[in-house]
Amino acid sequence: MSASLNTATATAQDPACAEPLAVLGRDVTVPLVTGGEVTYAALDYAASAPALQRVWDDVAAYAPYYGSVHRGAGYLSQLSTDLFEQSRATVAEFLDCRPGDQVVFTRSTTDSLNLLAAVLPADCQVFVFETEHHASLLPWTNAQVSYLNAPRTPGEAVATLERALADRTASIEEGHGPALVCVTGASNVTGELWPVKELAAAAHAHGARIVLDAAQLAPHHPVSVRDLDVDWVAFSGHKLYAPFGSGVLAGRADWLQEAEPYLAGGGASRKVSRREDGGVDVEWHTTAARHEAGSPNVIGVYSIASACRALTEAGFDSLVAREQHLVAKVREGLAEVPAVRVLSLFGDDAPRVGVISFVVDGWNSSHFAAALSAEYGIGVRDGLFCAHPLVRTLLGSEPQAQGECGAPEAAPGERSLNAIRVSFGAGTPDEHVERFVRAVKELVADGAKWQYRTEEGRCVPTAPLRGCSAV
Tens digit of each residue's pLDDT (9 = 90 or more) over 386-395: 999 999 899 9
Whether the pLDDT of residue 11 is over 60: the answer is no
First and final C-alpha spacing in the chain: 51
d(CA 210, CA 200): 6
pLDDT score, position 469: 47
Whether the pLDDT of residue 340 is over 80: the answer is yes
305, 87 Cβ separation under 8 angstroms: yes
Mean predicted confidence (pLDDT) in 425-442: 98
At 18, the pLDDT band (50, 70, 90 cuts) reads confident
Judge residue 301's burial from the number of C-beta atoms within 10 Å of its C-beta, 0-12 exposed, 13-18 middle, 19 or more buried.
Answer: buried
Give 312-323 as a DSSP string. Answer: HHH-HHHHHHHH
112, 237 Cβ separation under 8 angstroms: no
Least confident range of 20-29, 286-295, 311-320: 286-295
At 292, the pLDDT band (50, 70, 90 cuts) reads confident
Task: Tell me whether residue 182 is one of the annotated catalytic residues.
Answer: no
Whether the pLDDT of residue 306 is over 90: the answer is yes
pLDDT score, position 6: 41
pLDDT score, position 153: 97
Q: Rounded to the nearest 10 degrees, how much is the dihedral formed by the CA atoms of 197, 203, 204, 210?
A: -70
Mean predicted confidence (pLDDT) in 345-352: 95
Per the residue annotation, which of 17, 97, 386, 459 is the catalytic one? 386
pLDDT score, position 241: 98
Whether the pLDDT of residue 361 is over 70: the answer is yes
Q: Rounded to the nearest 10 degrees, how much is the dihedral formed by the CA atoms of 261, 263, 268, 269?
A: 80
d(CA 189, CA 172): 35
User: Considering the entire predicted model, what is its pTM?
Assistant: 0.91
Compute the mean pLDDT over every residue in the chain, rounded to the nearest whole number. 90
- What does each C-alpha distance from 62 to 66, 67, 78, 116, 460 come to in angstroms? 7, 10, 13, 31, 40
Phi, psi of 468, rounded to the nearest 5 degrees: -115, 145
Mean predicted confidence (pLDDT) in 349-365: 95
pLDDT score, position 29: 97
d(CA 460, CA 376): 14
pLDDT score, position 458: 86
Percent of the chain clearing pLDDT 70 (strictly above) = 89
- B/e letters for 81-97, b = 16+ CB within 10 Å, e = fewer, are bebbeebbebbbebbeb
Whether the pLDDT of residue 2 is over 50: the answer is no
d(CA 245, CA 304): 10
Residue 259: CB partners within 8 Å, gap ≥ 6? Answer: 118, 119, 120, 121
Whether the pLDDT of residue 158 is over 90: the answer is yes
234, 116 Cβ separation under 8 angstroms: yes
pLDDT score, position 9: 41
Residue 35: CB partners within 8 Å, gap ≥ 6? Answer: 470, 471
The number of CA neighbours under 13 Å toward the Cβ of 177 is 12
d(CA 203, CA 190): 24
At 416, the pLDDT band (50, 70, 90 cuts) reads low
427, 355 Cβ separation under 8 angstroms: no
Give the DSSP H or E segment for 166.
helix 154-171
β-strands 209-213, 179-184: how paired? parallel
Least confident range of 130-144, 165-179, 340-354, 406-420: 406-420
Bridge partner residues of 455 (DSSP) = 458
User: What are all long-range contacts of 283-290, with beta carbons under 8 Å and residues at least 24 apart?
Assistant: 284/260, 286/257, 287/102, 288/88, 288/102, 288/103, 288/104, 288/105, 288/256, 289/70, 290/256, 290/257, 290/261
Judge residue 369's burial from the number of C-beta atoms within 10 Å of its C-beta, 0-12 exposed, 13-18 middle, 19 or more buried.
Answer: buried
DSSP state of 292: -
Whether the pLDDT of residue 422 is over 50: the answer is yes
